[in-house]
């Protein structure tokens, strides 16, 4: 139904909309189609994107959720000044999926987003976490973003404002919601751009599980100077199972939903992975996966272990 110009779904079964194929019902989910729709966003609500990097509780979500999936417009600046320059500005809504944006700019002969071709997530989340791959990251081509904080006003942040670092931006510190991002890309030969994209896709296929095996991407961030995958591999983590969740056999930093896994199964497996690395190397791995939703007492304890500062 549509209420006050917002598409709203109640008791929304989110499971099949997540990359992990895990999650209960969301009490209320809103689908804004413009920035104006978000001006009166309730204080108790949470904004989500493509849920590709999120473990949603099997117990559901009992607070309002806003999805940016309908904020999916792409604009390529083709003013005279831009056309005569080597650099072109591209604006994307938070709900635009990474591969869609990568393909769109490639067709227009614009380079800089080839690394996004294999990403399952959307632009809002990728800017929020400064996503990257193949030696590139969002911060390399980022120009500005429109974000929303706790008030009703939107804020425009420049690259300097974002305080980018590895898998980090100021949005995580200030709890800003990324609604729209602006990138500065370079003109290049379309065939060369597509060749780089093809190479990136091939690398992803050989190093990461297909989404046919439901997963949420890398489970833990790489510690300084280390590879989380190599640390976990050396601890004998591959193919370890808890409930319906299993560590992928080809890379120890991925968990796949092998057999109707629950959020508790995944959290238990993450804790076991974290504990083994801590015991062997005294390194405390930090999750790259976010958790969303209601927790029972067991999940509360597991999240305290995983997400403690």
- Residues identified as active-site: 167, 218, 288
3-state SS class at 248: coil
- The answer to whether the CB of 123 falls within 8 A of the CB of 94 is yes
Residue 300 CA to its chain's centroid (Å): 23
And the tokens for 251?
A: 């890379």
- d(CA 110, CA 78) in angstroms, rounded, equals 12
- d(CA 38, CA 13) in angstroms, rounded, equals 22
CA distances from 165 to 13, 46, 159, 275, 296 (A): 35, 24, 11, 26, 34
- d(CA 60, CA 12) in angstroms, rounded, equals 9
**Which residue bears the tokens 């999926």?**
97
């Amino acid at each position: 139904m549509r209420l006050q110009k917002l598409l709203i779904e109640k008791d929304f079964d989110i499971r099949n909309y997540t990359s992990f194929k895990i999650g209960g019902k969301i009490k209320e989910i809103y689908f804004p189609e413009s920035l104006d729709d978000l001006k009166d966003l309730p204080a108790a609500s949470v904004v989500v994107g493509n849920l590709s990097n999120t473990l949603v509780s099997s117990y559901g979500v009992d607070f309002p959720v806003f999805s940016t999936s309908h904020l999916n417009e792409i604009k390529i600046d083709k003013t005279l000044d831009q056309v005569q320059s080597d650099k072109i500005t591209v604006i994307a809504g938070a709900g635009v999926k990474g591969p869609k944006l990568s393909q769109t700019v490639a067709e227009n002969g614009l380079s800089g987003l080839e690394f996004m071709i294999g990403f399952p997530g959307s632009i809002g989340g990728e800017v929020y976490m400064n996503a990257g791959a193949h030696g590139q990251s969002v911060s390399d081509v980022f120009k500005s973003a429109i974000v929303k904080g706790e008030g009703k006003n939107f804020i425009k942040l420049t690259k300097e404002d974002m305080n980018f670092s590895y898998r980090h931006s100021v949005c995580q510190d200030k709890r800003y919601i990324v609604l729209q991002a602006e990138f500065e890309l370079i003109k290049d030969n379309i065939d060369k751009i597509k060749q780089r994209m093809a190479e990136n896709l091939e690398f992803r296929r050989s190093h990461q599980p297909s989404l046919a095996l439901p997963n949420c991407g890398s489970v833990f961030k790489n510690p300084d100077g280390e590879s989380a995958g190599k640390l976990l591999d050396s601890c004998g983590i591959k193919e370890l199972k808890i409930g319906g969740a299993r560590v992928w056999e080809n890379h120890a930093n991925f968990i796949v939903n092998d057999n109707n896994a629950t959020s508790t199964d995944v959290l238990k497996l993450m804790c076991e992975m974290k504990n083994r690395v801590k015991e062997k190397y005294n390194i405390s791995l930090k999750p790259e996966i976010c958790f969303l939703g209601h927790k029972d007492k067991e999940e509360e304890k597991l999240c305290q272990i995983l997400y403690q500062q």
